[in-house]
Structure 1
Amino acid sequence: MSRSRLPPILRPRLTPRYVVSCVAAVYVVYCWLWGMPLFSSNLPAYSGPHSVGVIDIESPCDGRKTSDVKFKSTGEPAFLLETVLFSLYYPAMKGAKSDKPKHLWVPKPLSVTAEGYAKFAHISNFLTNSIFTVALWGLTGSTTIPANVDVPLRENVPTLKFTEHVEDKPEAGEENFPVIVFSHGMASSRTDYTHFCGELASRGYVVAAIEHRDGSGPGTMIMNVDGTEKPLYHFGLGDLQVDASFDTPELKQAQLDFRQAEIEETVRVLRAVNDGSGATIFEMNPRKEGEHLSSWEGKFDMTNVTIAGHSYGATGALQALKGAPCPERPFHGGLILDPGKSSGPLNHDVDVPILIVHSNSWSKKHSVFFGQPHFTVVKDLVKGVNKRGKAAWFMTSLGTSHPSVTDAPLIEPTLLSWTTGSTIDVYDGVGVYVNVTEEFMLYQKAHKRMGLLALDVTHSEYDSHDNGTQEMPQAYQRFWQIHVAPDSA
């Protein structure tokens, strides 16, 4: 048979369009064969010495209402705490295998998250919601979280672990697991920080990443014990029955109050597990995870609980520290990542050790914050904590951008570097946050400054070169500037 008698598909012309189409088709088939999301990267494995497990826990609450504001569409309370949902990352038993599929990075139904993002963009309708859903599926729909689902908790952990820069080593021993409660930022959810949380779990920490239902996230599915479900999407002032006196600052305060209630409910659930009620928490969990919780009694170190948060969650974490430690909020430290700016005023009434870390983009950009430079407000807050006799640090992570602590740069490294201006390697970007968090947790346990936290001020202002009290050691020069440290208060 001559070539001219073959069907057109079997005798293609090597045009640019044909070449591009073939490359695209090969890429799609490759991603399908290897289970990779289109146009993005899979999340990496965790680097710590422990395997990592994860459990989604949704626990019924007592119908606590933090505001009388109602939705226009239904007349129902907008800030009614029906359930609290969080993902619990923990050191897992070595070699434990799960018979459950790994959690998706964007939870099902994916359309809830997609519609929520469309609402953020103020273009939500049937067509745009469908487009957002298809786009989200193409970008991240098959991305999974590497942690093993619902496997047994590791029996014990070493007494103290130090980063590679620490020379002094304590004696070996065993202890319960320090706990971190993590609050996500605006337009985010509990799954946007899985690598940060999982890395800490791989190093011996239990991390509860909360899903906030305050309207600041894109979308979430509320699940009740009786099997009923209802979606909750992003909402703003236009969706609420409010008068002219209820403005954007009022809404933000209402959201922060609701977030604090969710933080307190998360602590309640963790305490119940630690007190021996894990079986009840499992039975009441509509997500059907936590079958081993009954064996977790006494496994948490509730004397070393840290509240942490990023962006809006950092502002909320600072609010939760007012009056802490107390029974509802037993926090003995705060990890605060990129607080303030558009998320409302910062609570200065803090009486526990804190570590505030700015991304490079957060420190570099000058912002007026309630009449003062934002950098100055944060610096004065940290100095105030030091003056009250509690150790506090304020530093900048060089080369990072606001999303660097999230999973986004790991999944879309080229896109995020291009759009945010981040210059740090995406793995280093998360790694520097994990390392300094571990040093901060160890300080709270041993009351000893180690690694980066053992240094004094290197740059009293961002990018200054002549007013620090200590030269930054070579090992840290690429990654850090220290603006406030305990000895310099």
Structure 2
Amino acid sequence: MSRSRIPPILRPRLTPRYIASSIAVIYVLYCWLWGMPLLSSNLPAYTGPYSVGTIDIESPCDGRKTSDINFKSTGQPAFLLETVLFSVYYPAVKGAKSDKPKHLWVPKPLAITAEGFAKFAHISNFFTNSLFTVALWGLAGSTTIPANVDVPLRETAPSFEFTQHGEAKTATANGGFPVIVFSHGMASSRTDYTHFCGELASRGYIVAAIEHRDGSAPASMIMNVDGTQKPVYHFGLDDLDVGQTFGTPELKQAQLDFRQAEIEETVRVLRAINDGSGASIFELNPRKEGTHLASWTGQLDMTNVTLSGHSYGATGALQALKGAPCPERPFHGGIILDPGKSSGPLNHDVNVPVLVLHSNSWSKKHSIFFGQPHFNVVKDLVQQVNQRGKAGWFMTSLGTSHPSVTDAPLIEPTLLSWTTGSTIDVIDGVRMYVNVTEEFMLYQKAHRRSGLLALDVTHPDYDETSNGTQQMPKCYQRFWQIHVAPKSA
């Protein structure tokens, strides 16, 4: 057969355009065959000793308003608590199989999340919303969360092992699984921290990651028991019917108050499950997940709950710790990750142990925060906790950037490293946060300092050592600096 009779597609000219198109087609085909997201990486498997399950719980609330502010366009309340939504990550029965598909990292409908991001960028219209939808689908539209959906909880709480200066220790978790309630940051959602939450679940913790509907998330779909649905999008000052004296500080406080109400509602639902109302929670859950919740009775340690949050969520967590522990907020500790530099003043009235972790970028950049360096404000807050007789730690995770605790660097490692300046391996970054969180949880349970938390101050200020401080052990030197710690016994 002469070459002239061969179809053009089978006798291509090796032009740059043809080569680029061929690579693109091969890449799409490869992703399709292996179930890979088009322009990103799959989330890694969890490394702890336990299988991980997850369920989405949406529970009706009493319809209380945390503010009298209304939307301009509809006149409806902007801060009305209709339902509370959170994802629970938990230690699951080993080998349990689910008949439900894994949760998508970007929940359906993807289009409302894309529109929410367009609203954040102040360019929301039909064209840009469609463009954002296509881009979001390409980046992470098929990415799934590794946890198994709606599988049974392990029947008994495990014991926890940890190492202190090379010596094996054991602390037994009595009275149910330790519980962590987690609050996400600005422009985030409950699914942005799934690896951090899932890793903790794989090590024996129950983590409830809240979806905040305070206008700080891109978008969220409210689902009601009667089957009705309503999207809630990001909103700002221009969307609200407020007077000239109501500005950004007042909006942030209104959002933080709403977040605190959602935190309290999450605790209410978790307590109801633990008290034996799991079947009722499942019946009222429009997400149709939680078939085994009736068996969760007495399996959650609700007498010693820890509150955690990142960025805006860290600021909100600090606010919710005021007056804790109390019936609505039974928090006996706080894990505070990069408390927000632009999310309002930080509550210093904290009377429970706290672990405050700064990413390297958060400590390194000098920022003025209400007239003082932000680093100094955080340092003073933790020192006050120690002065009250509670245990407080403040440290910097080296090589990390603000998003390092989120899933974003795991899904887009090259892009995030390039844009944020993070130098740590992305999996190592999350692992560092998980390890020290577990050490704090063990301190909460056994009141014994271990690992990193057993050390004294190594750097009174960022990147600054001085006489009288402890030398950082070699195994931690690449990863941590300790700025505040309780005095050794």
Aligned equivalent of 2:249: 249
Partner AA of 1:466 in structure 2: S
Please show how residues 364-443 of structure 1 align to structure 2 within 5 Å.
364-443=364-443
Gaps of 5+ in 1: none
Displacement of 1:34 in angstroms is 1.0
Tell whether the 8 Å contact from 1:166 to 1:451 is kept in structure 2 after alignment.
no
1:45-94, CA deviations, whole angstroms, 9 ceiling, x for partnerless residues? Answer: 00000000000000000001000000111110000000000000000001
Paired residue type of 1:115: E
Residues 189-268 of structure 1: pairs in structure 2 closer than 5 A? 189-268=189-268
CA distance in 1, matches of 2:21, 2:125: 31
Is the contact made by 1:459 and 1:467 (CA closer than 8 Å) also made in structure 2?
no
CA displacement, residues 370-409 of structure 1 (integer Å, 9 cap, x when unaligned): 0000000000000000000000000000000000000000
Whole-Å separation in 2 of the counterparts to 1:333 and 1:19: 57
Partner of residue 269, structure 1:
269
Q: Which amino acid in 2 is paired with 1:470?
A: Q
Alpha-carbon shift at residue 468 of structure 1 (Å): 5.6
CA contact (8 A) 1:305 1:330 kept: yes
Alpha carbons of 1:268 and 1:188: their partners in 2 closer, same or farther (altered >3 Å)?
same
Q: Distance in 1 between matches of 2:330 and 2:174?
A: 22
Q: In the TM superposition, what are the counterparts of 1:323-362 in structure 2 within 5 Å?
A: 323-362=323-362
Q: What's the counterpart of residue 167 of structure 2?
A: 167
Check 1:278–1:173 CA distance in 2 against 1; reply closer, same or farther (3 A cut): closer
The Cα of 1:157 is off from its aligned counterpart by 2.9
For the residue of structure 2 that corresponds to 1:85, the secondary structure is strand
Give CA-to-partner distance per residue, 1:431-473, whole Å, 9 cap, x none. 0000000000000100000000000000000001335610000
| Cα distance between partner residues in 2 of 1:113 and 1:404 | 22
Q: Distance in 2 between matches of 1:66 and 1:259?
A: 10
1:30 aligns with: 30
- Counterpart AA for 2:255: Q
Amino acid aligned to 2:269: V
Deviations 1:137-183 (A, max 9, x none): 01100000000000000012333332586524137676510000000
- Inter-partner Cα distance in structure 1 for 2:129 and 2:470: 53
- Separation in 2, partners of 1:307, 1:439: 15
For residues 56-95 of structure 1, the aligned pairs below 5 Å read 56-95=56-95
Distance 1:165 1:258, change over 3 A: farther
1:39 deviates by: 1.4
Matched with 1:129 is 129
User: What is the CA–CA distance in structure 2 between the aligned matches of 1:234 and 1:430, rounded to whole Å?
Assistant: 27
> CA contact under 8 A between 1:353 and 1:392: conserved in structure 2?
yes
Instruction: Show the counterpart of 2:157.
Output: 157
8 Å Cα contact 2:189-2:211 kept in structure 1 = yes
CA shift for structure 1 position 10: 1.7
In structure 2, the residue corresponding to 1:161 is in which secondary structure?
strand
Which one is further off, 451-460 or 299-308? 299-308
Q: Which residue type is aligned with residue 333 of structure 1?
A: G
Measure, in 2, the Cα distance between the counterparts of 1:114 and 1:409. Answer: 19
Residues 19 and 164 of structure 1: is their aligned pair in 2 closer, same or farther, counting only changes over 3 Å? farther
How many correspondences in the alignment? Answer: 489
**TM-score normalised to structure 2 length:** 0.98
Assess, with a 3 A threshold, how the Cα gap between structure 1 residues 78 and 171 changes in structure 2: closer, same or farther. Answer: closer
Match of 2:283 in 1: 283
Amino acid at match of 1:86: F
Q: What SS class does the counterpart of residue 356 from structure 1 fall into?
A: strand
Is the partner of 1:67 in helix, strand or coil? coil
The CA deviation string for residues 249-285 of structure 1, in whole angstroms up to 9 with x for no partner, is 0000000000000000000000000000000000000
8 A contact 2:175–2:298 mirrored in 1: no
CA distance in 2, matches of 1:293, 1:5: 67
Contact 2:458–2:471 under 8 Å retained in 1 = yes
Distance 1:166 1:254, change over 3 A: farther
- 1-side partners of 2:437 and 2:202: how far apart? 13
The letter of the residue matching 2:92 is: A
Q: Name the CA shift for 1:269/1:407 in 2 (closer, same or farther; >3 Å).
A: same
Q: How far apart, in 2, do the equivalents of 1:403 and 1:74 lie?
A: 35
Shift of 1:24: 0.8
Q: Is the 8 A contact 1:89 1:201 kept in 2?
A: yes
Q: Deviations over 1:318-364 (max 9, x none)?
A: 00000000000000000000003111100000000000000000000
Q: Secondary structure, in 3 states, of the residue corresponding to 2:342?
A: helix
Q: What SS class does the counterpart of residue 63 from structure 1 fall into?
A: coil
Instruction: Confirm or deny: 8 A CA contact 1:400 1:429 kept in the other structure.
Output: yes
Q: CA deviation at 1:304?
A: 2.0
Describe the shift of the 1:447–1:176 C-alpha distance in structure 2 as closer, same or farther (beyond 3 A). Answer: same
Structure 1 counterpart SS, 2:393:
strand
Partner SS for 2:57: strand
1:154 & 1:439 partners in 2: Cα distance? 22
Q: State the SS of the aligned residue for 1:285.
A: coil
* Residue deviations 1:8-41 (CA, integer Å, cap 9, x gap): 2121001111111111100001001111111110
Q: CA RMSD in A?
A: 1.3
Instruction: Give the fraction of aligned pairs with identical amino acids, expressed as a percent.
Output: 83
Q: Could you tell me which amino acid in structure 2 is paired with residue 450 of structure 1? A: S
Contact kept, 8 Å, 2:84 with 2:262, in 1: the verdict is yes
SS in 2 for 1:255: helix
Q: Secondary structure at the match of 2:63?
A: strand
SS in 2 for 1:74: coil
Q: What is the TM-score when the length of structure 1 is the normalising length?
A: 0.98
The answer as to whether partners of 1:54 and 1:147 remain within 8 angstroms in 2 is yes
- How far 1:7 moved relative to its partner? 2.2
- Aligned pairs (5 A) from 1:40-119: 40-119=40-119
> How far apart in 1 are the matches of 2:375 and 2:173?
41
The structure-2 alpha-carbon separation of the partners of 1:292 and 1:163, relative to structure 1 and needing over 3 Å to count, comes to: farther
In structure 1, what is the equivalent of residue 8 of structure 2? 8
